[in-house]
Amino acid sequence: MPQSSRLATLLEASLIADSLALPAHWIYDPEAITRTFGRVDEVVAPPATSYHAGRPAGAQTHYGDQALTLMDSLVPGQPFDPNAFATRWRAMWADYPGYCDGATKTTLANLEAGMPATEAGSPSSDLGGATRIAPLLVALADAPDEVVVEAARAQTALTHRDVAVSDAAAFLVRATRAVLRGESVPEALASAAKASYYLLPVAEQLEAARAAVSAGDTEAVQALGPACGVSGAFPSMLALALAHPNDLEAALIANATAGGDSAARGLGLGMILGAAEGAVVPERWRAAWLARPRVEAFLRAQEARSPQ
């Protein structure tokens, strides 16, 4: 599979994981998810009781829409420009039809108060600030690892200034790029965990994820942490990757069905597993996914810049 195809798959898998998670996102009771949806294995609209009520089938959560805004800020052949992303990100919220979370509200208030974009981010520790980075992996495919790591940290800090969240973004870059270089998913997670991180105890959380896998997908997520914070969401994401290293579809269904902040986990999970040789996003999901034309236009622009 050409490198360009694998980059396309990891981007699509990341965003479609978010779209798949939309209907059951932030439902914390797995039994309630099962009663309402069965397995979350189709791209459908959220119910009227959802935080995302009114969003159509195939839409993104607010996390995925921020990833798309990041994508739109990236100029083919150019480095990541935090100010360009910040400008588009701020404009996105002017008439946004979906949910606005606490990190966003705090960041917007800081910007309104006159703080520079590079200092206005909230203190949020939510994983969602880190997992929207798949567009950077595509746009900066030819850059050295540490250039992409720094770009991922910078985009994360624009809204989430907790350094542990930026550590999670750095890990995702290293792990996904290791998969692109041919390492298996378990090997890539292990090699990425050997790097240095400021606050996030990556090695310990990877070990906790390994220990939890045998309990089952939903049980692992519930034990490690189904909520938004990086301390639980990060190892939960790793456990799902370890449980389904060669089965993207099964991993994303398990994630969406497990409860809690499935959208943030899914964006990262899709990126890692989507980078693997032979990974395939089910066509039924791609057909229902509303951002497909927008993402395909981005991929064509990247392909024209740097044919693989």
| Positive/negative CA dihedral, 181, 182, 184, 190 | negative
State yes or no: pLDDT of 39 exceeds 60.
yes
Percentage of the chain modeled with pLDDT above 70: 98
State yes or no: pLDDT of 282 exceeds 60.
yes
Rounded to whole angstroms, the Cα distance separating 19 from 46 reads 10
Rounded to whole angstroms, the Cα distance separating 115 from 111 reads 5
Mean pLDDT score of the chain, rounded to an integer?
97
Q: Check residue 305 and give its pLDDT.
A: 75
**Residues 274-303: what's their mean pLDDT?**
97
State yes or no: pLDDT of 191 exceeds 90.
yes
SS3 160: strand
Q: Check residue 162 and give its pLDDT.
A: 99
Structure confidence at residue 304 as a pLDDT band (50, 70, 90):
confident
Q: Which of 158, 129, 125 is nearest to 264 (CA)?
A: 129
State yes or no: pLDDT of 161 exceeds 90.
yes
The residues spanned by each domain of the chain are 3-305
**CATH code at 3-305:** 1.10.4080.10
SS3 97: coil
What is the residue-wise DSSP string for 125-151?
-BGGGTTT-HHHHHHTTTS-HHHHHHH
What is the residue-wise DSSP string for 24-73?
GTT---HHHHHHHHSS--S--PPPTTSTTTTPPTT---HHHHHHHHHHHH
Q: What is the pLDDT of residues 210-237, one digit of tens each?
A: 999 999 999 999 999 999 999 999 999 9
Q: Which of 56, 87, 52 is nearest to 69 (CA)?
A: 87
**Residues 78-90: what's their mean pLDDT?**
97
Extract the runs of DSSP E, i.e. beta strands, from the chain. none
Structure confidence at residue 23 as a pLDDT band (50, 70, 90):
very high
To the question of pTM greater than 0.85 for the whole model, the response is yes
Q: Check residue 306 and give its pLDDT.
A: 58
How much helix, strand and coil, in percent to the nearest 5, is found in the chain?
65, 0, 35
- No. of H helices and E strands in the chain? 16, 0
Q: What is the pLDDT of residues 51-80, one digit of tens each?
A: 999 999 999 999 999 999 999 999 999 999
Rounded to whole angstroms, the Cα distance separating 127 from 296 reads 26
Task: Answer yes or no: are the C-beta atoms of 303 and 57 closer than 8 Å.
Answer: no
Rounded to whole angstroms, the Cα distance separating 165 from 148 reads 16
State yes or no: pLDDT of 103 exceeds 90.
yes
Structure confidence at residue 138 as a pLDDT band (50, 70, 90):
very high
Which residues, listed in sequence order, are joined to residue 231 by a DSSP beta bridge? none
Q: Check residue 308 and give its pLDDT.
A: 42
Q: In sequence order, which residues have a C-beta less than 8 Å from that of residue 20 and are 6 or more positions away?
A: 40, 41, 42, 43, 252, 253, 256, 266, 285
